[in-house]
Chain A
């Protein structure tokens, strides 16, 4: 008799009831415990957990599936064959008992042969179609996943810095990783569950009613209590699922923060308070898990109970029908077999529904990300720059505001001739970094224009823009890979000799060669971890290798120690020859190598001249300079 071994054990713990998914959306983790402090609630909480797709999700899903329509149809066909062969079993048994036995008694072996052939054929067909469905399904799923991953990745890369700063890195990362994985899980297991359970419920119902109306209707009547039970379970498990998700998130956050900050934890004797906090969040999580097990302990045996009672009733009525001759024993056997496998798919459907809920929420969030429009778009028809870029920079009538109420740059004009080294100083919030961000086109001005060699930055292709302008910031993130890989990011086509020459030019070669594997040291492995100052030097080497016409240094020497800073300054003297440079610095030592100094205050230039002039002028800069000289003694 053919039988599907997906038949969940009466007691099988489903994956859906207790996954410990690493989730990065910790927004829901907020509780009212005062130690956590107060933060603005995340707007994401409002994303309805439901199965109704909003139009943007539908559009995304449509565009992902459209290329695979034909394969999807093939999958449906395979699923039909699979269910057909699976459900043929009981009918063949019925035929065997009803016809083959009497025929055999009468000396006719043909029906038995047919029974054997059809039964085994159905079995083979069932096994093959099941295997085929799995393989074809995996092909489509994986193609869609790669497509979706590529789209979200490229899209997040194309979005402007403004977006990344607002949306926060944690959220972008979970959009691109855990949300996509949620979809993959549903696609990998859910499709199969959905196809087989929906088809078999339909086919079994129809078969039963066609086979015998009275008994068929008795079997179908069981759907009513099952429907009620399933509704109850869905509501209950949905509430528990939400609770368990935020409990998991809180537990992981507490765990991760403790391990990442273990030095502070131990140094400040935080262990016992941490233990209490962890005990509480871990307890919440266990409570939620326990609740979900209890809900499942009611639901699954409940389904079983309804099924078993139905079976007894069908047996009773069916036996009566056999006795009064309107039914044969084979028919009864077939009926019993069908009833026994009718309610299992319902259980699967309930699990599928749970998966579907988290998947639609994930799809919703992903499609939201994909609908974000880049605020610093690449031009459709870029203007090309000459092969040799001079590096003349001009800000004309530029205004800039992160939000309309507080302008950062109110009307700003500046001409930097090609080859000039310009230093910008001023207090925090004076607009220095904004200047750098506009020149490197991390942001576009609210009005006015920034030009390079007379071409508006908004008209340049990314390739031309980065040939022209490169910025080194205080933040010195290293990517996985070797030190050489990290420097080569400045110019991926560079040879090893060029990479080493760049490192030597800014004085980083020495310490790099002392690392365990020199330039080939993996920066993520122990021993390869670099100090903030060393990472900064790698950043400099990267910029030097990129060889741009305009170099922007935004607080780039902040974390260097004095000998390194000295080495960098030495190097800068030669590097900056024939290059336009904008140097933003706290420390005046860096400023002194500039041709020209701007002092900014509240988005305006208040002093402008050569360092010597400004020191002599007795203005703001002169004051800073005196304070700095004093600090050196």
Chain B
């Protein structure tokens, strides 16, 4: 636990002074609180016992001073530590965000966004609260306990021993229940998360649920999960009730015993009435420090876990980064060369077949090459390699003679632009979504790109280019989103354009228009186009067939249609190949097992 918490030091160091000051102030304030009963003792045993009204003023002024001191010191402590600690949290969150943006896509494949959000949100909140409160009071309360027991012992040794003796089991028991509680709290959080998932599905999948009349079916699952959550909450309540019982009962027993012995001692004269009252005052003041220790230890434990989760992300290696001495070139012709490229996903077992292996391909400057392959053949992976969203695990890819890994990352990504098959739009204006990586782009740039993508619908949006789209703005159809993704790719005049099935969601008319407009761009730019349909292939100068992890054939569409059955199987429609389908399927099977087919 301590080792985890120690890792926070670099973040805390800039405000360590504030933290120490805050702990000292809290300590002094607590001492002021403990002084109260002692002053009261002086009043009872002094002026009251001697019936000296004028003697009341001085101790009362002391009481007042301690009272004001306690309140003011607590106020100053909070003011001193509050904002600096919030700043620590803010810096940690900024650092986490920056780190996550730098981590490669392979990392994000493994970590769902929800997990990362809970690190940025609740885990950092736990850490802040511990720094602002838990850590300070863990120290202050232990110190208070020691000082308080010392005071009690000076007031009355046997009574002090009773309180001290019962304090230890109290700390032990409360920390035991607190830990139990935290396990349950985590479980309840997880179950609430499951419940939210079901809610999300029931809403996002409402069309399917209604189409099949399955509301009752998913409703039962929801109720089952709600009942599980209820059970956990009830168990939690049980633990809390036991915790309360312990926290109330043990001190009551201690105080009850102390009361009896105290009264006896006052009666036999070995203790004054003032001392008894003071004893009770101090003992009462110690209640919270004592039973909070168990709770604070549990919080420290939880904070250590939150810290570990934070560093789990911060420690992840950034495997895709700019080289120490980047190369660059003024040549922007966009020649792409794949040499013996191999790729396997990082977390797959070593025995599994790589997605791509022994892949060789040359794309000439200015050429548009279509890539055709069956679902799952690795087409999309291939396009991600060109952007260095993943790195090849073998072989190399060069752009204009330079290995992709030797470019400065931003240089490479400026040269290569991609339109994804499933376009991501951000909750921002249309302009911002198109200019994504080009902050200095003008409206003219945007309009030119929108023209190429035939995204004239933007003019019909209520605020034109300023209209917010994405999750929290206007919702767009699949075809509209796809056209914006296309505009985003072409706006920066890249030397290589990668289009992953860019026209799949468009209807026939729009498809033809976009194709015509795209040709003007593709005439001068190197392009890799993933194609599922003959109409998209028509954009290309040349087609490559991706199969079994490598390129098995290249040529023009009509050549491949005529001579490569596996190609015909993938692209010929029902109308002209029903008869050939069986044959072609058999051929395709041979290709994928690597037998009987060679370039």
Contact = CB atoms under 8 A, between A and B. Distances in A.
A315 B570 contact: no
Interface residues of A, number: 180
Interface in A26-77: 26, 29, 34-40
Contact of A308 (B56, B71, B202, B219): B71
Interface in B256-308: 256, 259-260, 263-264, 266-267, 273, 276-277, 280-281, 283-284, 287-288, 291-292
Contacts of A298: 75
A93 B101 contact: no
A34 B463 CA distance: 12
A187 to B, nearest CB: 10
Given A268-B417, A329-B277, A632-B576, A286 B89 contact: yes
B571 A37 contact: no
A264 B132 contact: no
Nearest to A289: B86
B29 interface: yes
A338 to B, nearest CB: 12
B82 A329 contact: no
A260 B248 CA distance: 49
Nearest to A143: B230
A398 B99 CA distance: 58
A294 B82 contact: yes
Given A5-B288, A315-B63, A489-B214, A252 B205 contact: no
B133 A38 contact: no
Nearest to A323: B51
B147 interface: no
A139 B462 CA distance: 51
Contact of B259 (A116, A157, A176, A492): A116
B426 A261 contact: yes
Contacts of B71: 301-302, 304-305, 308
A142 B100 CA distance: 38
A541 interface: no
Contact of A173 (B199, B429, B571): B199
B226 A146 contact: yes
A5 to B, nearest CB: 5
Interface string B57-100: 10010011011101110110111001100110110011001101
A410 interface: no
Contacts of B206: 157, 161, 164, 169
Given A7-B287, A124-B249, A161-B210, A263 B420 contact: yes
A177 B105 contact: no
A39 B474 contact: yes
Contact of B287 (A3, A143, A323, A559): A3
Interface stretch (B154-162, B238-246, B518-526, B541-549): B238-246
Given A11-B26, A320-B53, A120 B410 contact: no
Contact of B241 (A39, A135, A256, A297): A135
Given A39-B473, A101-B267, A101-B273, A9 B237 contact: no
B211 A440 contact: yes
Interface residues of B, dominant DSSP: helix
Interface string A519-532: 00000001000011
B533 A146 contact: no
Contact of B429 (A2, A37, A332): A37
B360 to A, nearest CB: 24
A138 B26 CA distance: 35
Interface string B296-336: 00000000000000000000000000000000000000000
Most buried by B among A146, A309, A465, A479: A479
Contacts of A100: 263, 267
A224 interface: no
Given A126-B248, A142-B233, A531-B375, A263 B469 contact: no
B192 A39 contact: no
A188 B474 CA distance: 38
A283 B86 CA distance: 10
Contacts of A146: 223, 226-227, 230
A589 interface: yes
Nearest to B230: A142
Interface string B420-449: 101110111111100011110000000000
A477 interface: yes
B241 A265 contact: no
Contacts of A256: 113, 117
Interface in A90-129: 92-93, 96-97, 100-101, 104-105, 112, 115-116, 119-120, 122-124, 126-128
A116 B241 contact: no
Contacts of A589: 573-575
A154 B488 CA distance: 42
Given A131-B242, A565-B574, A308 B252 contact: no
Given A293-B132, A322-B48, A36 B429 contact: yes
A326 interface: no
A199 interface: no
B259 A169 contact: no
Nearest to A17: B129
A258 interface: yes
Interface in A174-206: 176-177, 181, 188
A373 to B, nearest CB: 17
Given A116-B256, A150-B226, A264-B420, A259 B100 contact: yes
A267 B426 CA distance: 14
Contact of A319 (B48, B68, B413, B571): B48
A309 B64 contact: yes
Most buried by B among A258, A312, A624: A312
B70 A566 contact: no
Contacts of A237: none
B208 interface: yes
Interface stretch (B12-20, B391-399, B501-509): B501-509
Interface string B9-42: 0000000000000000010010001001000100
Nearest to A273: B439
A275 interface: yes
A302 B431 CA distance: 51
Interface string B365-379: 000000000111000
B355 interface: no
A563 B287 contact: no
Contacts of B255: 1-2, 119, 123
A76 B372 CA distance: 73
Contacts of A290: 82-83, 86
Contacts of A120: 252-253, 256
Given A134-B240, A320-B53, A631-B538, A490 B212 contact: yes
List 8 A-B pairs, minimum CB-CB distance, nearest first.
Answer: A308-B67, A37-B429, A123-B252, A138-B237, A37-B468, A466-B213, A297-B78, A268-B437
Given A7-B288, A297-B78, 14 more contacts: A5-B288, A36-B432, A37-B473, A101-B267, A138-B234, A139-B234, A153-B223, A259-B108, A266-B389, A282-B94, A286-B89, A477-B204, A531-B376, A561-B532
12 contacts: A5-B287, A36-B468, A120-B253, A131-B244, A173-B196, A248-B121, A251-B93, A278-B94, A282-B94, A336-B281, A477-B207, A480-B198
